[in-house]
Amino acid sequence: MPGGSGPVADSAAKDVILGRIRTALGNRPAARPIPREYQRSRPFPSVLDLFAERVADYRAIVHRVDDPVAMVRSLLAGKRIAVPPDLPAEWLVPEVTWLHEPLSNADLDGCDGVLTGCAAGIAETGTIVLDGGVAQGRRVITLLPDYHLCVVRADQIAGTVPEALERLEPTRPLTFISGPSATSDIELDRVEGVHGPRTLEVLIVNG
């Protein structure tokens, strides 16, 4: 049985730890209000321009389009592309071999890429957020393929990190993506392309 006798066996440790905390804190300091003088939003001239610039800054490929369908066709024609179950039907152009769920890890590992929407964008940091909601699918489908094409609508883009977090539902499984997978582990210099998709392409749909 998963978990087994765990919580029961550890309950002694729980009492020990809580007891030590209460002793350590002795006469508890009075609560101090938490200062929040930082800017929750900023007066960016154009959130959309900034998002495009910052996403590209982390070596993702960025396109700004009025209608994503033509670009989906030109980027993906002839390829085998995984998709979540609830993608807008018009995106599924016939020139592409679409791989529908349920997909095995081997299917995902072996395909040419994945096409999704997203839950939100953050302009200041060049970040896309997935929450497993509409047009996004399970977390693994945007992870195993080596190529990720993500469609972001203008109205999904928030200016700052606080503005974006406000729009998200904390208890959904969330993935924040800022550029393709990278590492700073060799001489503290950023190198793109480790375990996640090595190519991230973003279609920004003008509002």
Partner 1 sequence: MGRNPVTWLGSPAFPTAARTALADDQLRRNLNHATGLIRNKRAGAVAELPDWEQLRLSGEAIKDEVLANLDTYLLRFEESVTARGGVVHWAADAAEANEIVLRLAREAGADEVVKIKSMATMEIGLNEALEAGGVKPIETDLAELIVQLGDDRPSHILVPAIHKNRTEIRDIFRTTMPGTEDLTNEPVELAAAARAFLRRKFLSAKVAVSGANFGVASTGSVVIVESEGNGRMCLTLPETLITVMGIEKLVPSWQDLEVFLQLLPRSSTAERMNPYTSIWSGVTPGDGPQNFHLVLVDNGRTDTLASTVGRQALRCIRCSACLNVCPVYERTGGQAYGSVYPGPIGAILTPQLAGDMHDKHAASLPFASSLCGACFEVCPVRIDIPSVLVHLRSEAVAAKPRYSPEAIGMAAMSWVMAGPRRFHVAQRLATAGRLLARGGKIRRLPFPGSKWTDSRDLPAPAKESFSAWWKRTRG
Q: Judged by CB, which is closer to partner 1: 72, or 130?
A: 130
Q: Are the C-beta atoms of 126 and 54 separated by less than 8 Å?
A: yes
Q: Judged by CB, which is closer to partner 1: 66, or 171?
A: 171
12 token code pair: 């002694």
Comparing C-alpha atoms, which of 42, 43, 38, 62 is closest to residue 51? 62
For 78, counting Cβ atoms within 10 Å of its Cβ (0-12 exposed, 13-18 middle, 19+ buried), the class is exposed
Q: Judged by CB, which is closer to partner 1: 24, or 89?
A: 24
Give min distance, CB of 206 to partner 1, in A.
23
Give min distance, CB of 30 to partner 1, in A.
9
Comparing C-alpha atoms, which of 60, 58, 100, 62 is closest to residue 83? 100
Give CA–CA dist 171/128, Å, rounded: 18
- For tokens 């979540």, the residue is 84
Q: Judged by CB, which is closer to partner 1: 71, or 149?
A: 149
Give min distance, CB of 79 to partner 1, in A.
21
Give CA–CA dist 115/24, Å, rounded: 52
Q: Judged by CB, which is closer to partner 1: 47, or 96?
A: 47
73 token code pair: 């066709």
Give min distance, CB of 95 to partner 1, in A.
29
Q: Which amino acid is at 9?
A: A
- For tokens 């495009």, the residue is 52
Give min distance, CB of 90 to partner 1, in A.
26
